[in-house]
Amino acid sequence: MSPEKPLAGKVALVTGASRGIGFAIARRLGQMGARVSICGRDEAKLEQSETTLRGEGIDVLSVVADVAREEQISAFVQKTQNEFGSIDILVNNAGTGLFGPFYEFGEADWDKIMDTNLKSVFLVSRAVVPEMIRRQTGHIINISSLAGKNTFANGAIYCASKWGLMGLSGSMAEDLRGYGIRVSTICPGSVATEFAGQSKKNPDKALHPEDIAHAVAALVTQSAGSFISEVHLRPTRKP
């Protein structure tokens, strides 16, 4: 394993990677030598991201997919395996948010957040795990939030989705550790991205997508005999 390319020969699949945190994670894993498969719903932005990564010498595949749709996930995973081989690293990053008093939202709003932030992790992981079990190796990283550890006004549905993700992730880790598969969760605080439903953050008082990518890099290079189950990331200066 080259110290410059510690993930050479590995395949990583990153959801919600057309921009922001997902794009930064895909770029970092690609720089570490992994072949990277990314998905998103915005075809134009996804193509732009693929072009950027390919221009940096990263071996990348992009597929338009809605991670809340089982048939689209299956096609995405199958195409990745056909073109790159078995998936070694899965980063469940796709997420969205709606913020305001819970009583102002409808059932469709609830379903949108839960499908993207929670159901998708179940569906994508379920599609990838059988091959990881067969090979007795793999690493799944779920991008949660400190909102999965703390509640706040106007964040009811978002918090519920992330608290659910924490429970799902913990149980996934217990279900899979016996097969040599590691499951880790990253809980970032405020990040300077164009996140749905929130105003733009002050970049001087917020995390940056590269900070989360750095945490992912640390997790996937952890020694084989152990795994870091949960990471909390906060900006140095409070927002």
Place of tokens 């071996």: 59
**Active-site residue 158, yes or no?**
yes
Instruction: Report the side by side order of strands in the sheet with 230-233.
Output: 60-64, 35-40, 11-14, 89-92, 138-143, 181-188, 230-233
The active-site residue, picked from 23, 76, 158, 195, is 158
Q: 10 Å Cβ neighbour count for 71? A: 9
On whether the CB atoms of residues 171 and 215 are closer than 8 A, the answer is no
SS3 percent helix, strand, coil of the chain, rounded to 5, is: 50, 15, 35
Computed over its alpha carbons, how large is the radius of gyration of the chain?
17
Q: Which residues are catalytic?
A: 158
